[in-house]
Structure 1
Amino acid sequence: MVVDFNFRFSTESTPQSLQQRLTEVLRRHGLDFELAWTVGGLPFLTTPGTLVAAVQTAIRAETGIETQLSTTGGTSDGRFIAQICPQVIELGPPNATIHMIDEHVVVSDIEPLKNIYRRVLENLHAGLPA
Structure 2
Amino acid sequence: MAFTTAAALVHDLMEARDERRLRILQKHLASVKLLILDERGYVPFTAVGGELLFEVLSQRYERGRTLITSNLPFDEWTSVFGSERLTGALLDRLTHHVHILEMNGESFRLTSSRKRHKDKEASKMP
TM-score normalised to structure 2 length: 0.25
Q: Which has the higher contact order (CA 8 A, sep 6+)?
A: 1
- Greater per-residue strand proportion: 2
- Pair member with larger Rg: 1
